[in-house]
Amino acid sequence: MRTFYNRIAGQSLERLTALSDGIFAVAMTLLVLDLHTPMAGTGVRFTTPLLWTSEGLSKELDLLGALGGLLPHFLPYLLSFLTLGIFWVGQQTQLNHFVTSNRNLTWLHLAFLLAVSLIPFSTGLLTEFITYRIAIGVYWLNLLLLGGILLASWRYAESADLLKEEVTAEIRSATTRRIIFYQVLYAVAVLLCVVNTYVSIVLLILMQLNSAIAPRVGWLDRF
């Protein structure tokens, strides 16, 4: 019987996990490039202040004000670092429940990693145009792509019988429910950019914090 290449390609979960870890690590590191020191970001040179003098105090306050000006850059950074952490956990959870992989599943996760590698770009766009609704929309499309591909991966693994035997119906349902639930919340948060883009960003951060901390509070504990 002839063996076709596509039937044996992409079966290593270990290699896929290693590649995923590397891309996530690079993407997380690239996020910090949008954070600049006040000297580099503003062109103001902060010389050594003279302590206990009005000039020294003035320079200290200038630096404090310059640091406060970094807030619009820090919010997208925090949001995206949390987002990458959450999707890394989500992908690793799926990989841990797969008994093996195949060519189709591997390419689904490569597409997922493509969306991961876009996060630094969508974050940089949001940082530079934080008051623009289009920038929020592009960032949301990135989130939608991440969640959609991760859901497609799980559904495909179910249909292709690639899940471990111990994966119960409850685990399957919980995994699907979590992805859909958060994607709906992301969409609601982004729609609020009609009011103010900062409202959307803060809500997205709170959602990601809830996902990361996972507080055992009422109905939130279900997701």
- What token pair was written down for 28? 């997380």
Q: pLDDT class for 42, splitting at 50, 70, 90?
A: very low
Distance CA 129, CA 132 (A): 5
Q: Over range 164-193, report the average pLDDT.
A: 93
User: How is the chain split into domains, by residue range?
Assistant: 5-35+71-222, 36-69
pLDDT digits (tens, 9 = 90+) for 74-110: 889 999 999 999 999 999 999 999 999 898 999 999 9
Helix extents (H) in 47-102: 54-68, 71-97
